[in-house]
Amino acid sequence: MLLGTALFLLCMALLILLRLLPLSSGMTGWPGPDLGLALTFAWVLRRPDQIPALAIALAFLVEDLLLLRPIGLWAALMLLATEAARLREPRWRDQPFMVEWLRVAMLIGAMTLANRLVLLISLMPVPALGQVLLQYLATLAAYPPVVFAARWLIGLRRSGHGGADVTRQVR
């Protein structure tokens, strides 16, 4: 569990570093996917025992601070969504990938809508709707490659039917 948590936090740190690097030519174009969001959902739905809620909250709170977003808002929304997914993970485990993808899409959509509503209610600057929708679609399109990469690079596979890969003890 500790190794999985450390690996998750390392992956999130690398993804945040990539978002902070000045890789563009200065012109803003199409928004890219939120790979940290996709990786977190993939991890929670495959190995929920490896990343505790505190690690998720910490990773996204640091991301909020470094990306100059309202402090704690996206982290709280991410925590609520991942815990909702974690509670339903045993029921979702045997479903096909397309069903998982649809459920993740609904969770990310609900998070995006809630974030936008809180920003509107609190009179904070709200990003352009078109850019938000494009990032949402890009994140959904990136989810299957992120799951594939996590499986083959990190070895992130779904846990067994018992919730964890534990061998039975024979009496």
Name, of 28-37, 58-67, 150-159, the range with top average pLDDT: 58-67
Local confidence band at 161 (pLDDT 50, 70, 90 cut-offs): low
Q: Residue 170 pLDDT more than 70?
A: no
The CA distances from residue 13 to 20, 58, 69, 73, in Å, are 11, 11, 17, 19
Kindly state whether residue 17 falls inside one of the protein's structural domains. Answer: no
How many domains is the chain built from?
Answer: 1
Cα–Cα distance measured from residue 137 to residue 50, given in angstroms and rounded to the nearest whole number: 28
Q: Is residue 74 part of a domain?
A: yes
Residue 9 lies in a domain: no
Residue identified by tokens 């938000």 is 132
- Decide if 75 is inside a domain: yes
Model confidence pLDDT, tens digit, residues 127-152: 999 999 999 999 999 999 999 999 88
Which of 161, 148, 158, 160 has the alpha carbon at shortest distance from 39? 148
Q: What is the mean pLDDT of residues 86-114?
A: 91
Residue 2, in any domain of the structure: no
Domain region containing 128: 32-154
